[in-house]
A and B are shown apart, each in its own frame.
Chain A
Amino acid sequence: MWKDKIKEIIYMLENSDINEIEVRFWFKKIKVTKKPPILNVDSSELSSESLNVTNLKKEEPVNQNIDKTEDTSSSNLIEIKSPMPGTFYSAPDPDSASFVNVGDSVNAGDTICIVEAMKIMNEIQAEESGTIESILVDNSSPVEFDQVLFKLKPSN
Chain B
Amino acid sequence: MFKKILIANRGEIAIRIIRACNEMGIQTVAVYSKADKNSLHVKFADEAICIGEGPAVDSYLNIPRIIAAGEITNSDAIHPGYGFLAENANFSKICKENGFTFIGPDAEIIDLMGDKVNARNAAKNAGVPIIPGSNTLSSSEELLEIAEKIGYPVMLKAVAGGGGKGMRVVNNANEAEKGFNIIQNEAGMAFNNSEIYVEKFVENGRHIEVQILSDKFGNHLHLGERECSIQRSNQKLIEESPSLFVDDSLRNELTSKSLQLAKNVNYVGAGTIEYLVDDKKNFYFIEMNTRIQVEHTVSEMVCMIDLVKEQIRTYAGIELTIKQESIIMGGHAIECRINAEDPFNDFIPSPKKIESLNFAGGIGVRIDSFIYAGYQIPTNYDSMLGKLIVHSSSREKALIRMKRALQETFIEGPKTTLPLLEMIFENKDFKNGNFDINFLGKFLKNIKEKK
Q: Is A146 an interface residue (CB 8 A)?
A: yes
In the assembled complex, the Cα of A117 lies from the Cα of B412 at a distance in Å of 42
Q: A84-B68, A86-B68, A117-B71 are in contact. Are A144 and B49 (CB under 8 A)?
A: yes
Q: Mark A120-156, 1 if CB is under 8 A from B, else 0.
A: 1000000000000000000000111111000000000
* CA–CA, A28 and B71, complex, Å: 48
| Known A53-B373, A85-B65, A118-B64; 20 more pairs at CB < 8 Å | A1-B411, A1-B418, A26-B356, A26-B410, A28-B356, A53-B374, A85-B49, A85-B51, A86-B71, A86-B72, A87-B71, A87-B72, A117-B64, A118-B68, A118-B71, A142-B73, A145-B50, A145-B52, A145-B59, A146-B34
Residue of chain A at shortest CB distance from B418:
A1
- The 8 A-B pairs with the shortest beta carbon distances in the complex, nearest first, are A142-B72, A117-B68, A144-B50, A1-B410, A86-B68, A145-B50, A85-B68, A85-B69
Task: Name the residue of chain B whose CB is nearest to the CB of A141.
Answer: B72
The residues of A that contact B235 with a CB separation of less than 8 Å are none
Assess whether A144 is in contact with B410, with CB atoms less than 8 Å apart: no
* Complex interface: chain A residues within 8 A of B412 (CB): 1-2
Q: How far apart are the CA atoms of A53 and B67 in the complex, in Å? A: 39
In the complex, A11 has a CB within 8 A of chain B: no
Cβ contacts A to B, 30 pairs, < 8 Å: A2-B356, A2-B410, A26-B410, A27-B356, A28-B356, A84-B51, A85-B49, A85-B50, A85-B51, A85-B65, A85-B68, A85-B69, A85-B72, A86-B72, A87-B72, A117-B64, A117-B67, A118-B64, A118-B71, A142-B49, A143-B72, A144-B50, A144-B51, A145-B49, A145-B50, A145-B59, A145-B65, A146-B34, A146-B50, A147-B50
> Which A residues have a C-beta under 8 Å from some C-beta of B?
1-2, 26-28, 53, 56, 84-87, 117-118, 120, 142-147
Residues of B near A86 (CB, < 8 A) are 68, 71-72
Closest Cβ of chain A to B262, distance in Å, is 33
Q: Which residues of B contact A28 (CB under 8 A)?
A: 356
Query: What interface size band does chain B fall in?
Result: 20 to 34
Q: Is the interface of B mostly helix, strand, loop or mixed?
A: mixed
- Residue of B72, B98, B356, B410 most packed against chain A (CB within 10 A): B72
The answer to whether B414 has its CB under 8 Å from any CB of chain A is no
In the complex, chain B residues whose CB is within 8 Å of the CB of A1: 410-412, 418-419
Does B358 sit within 8 A of A, measured CB to CB?
yes
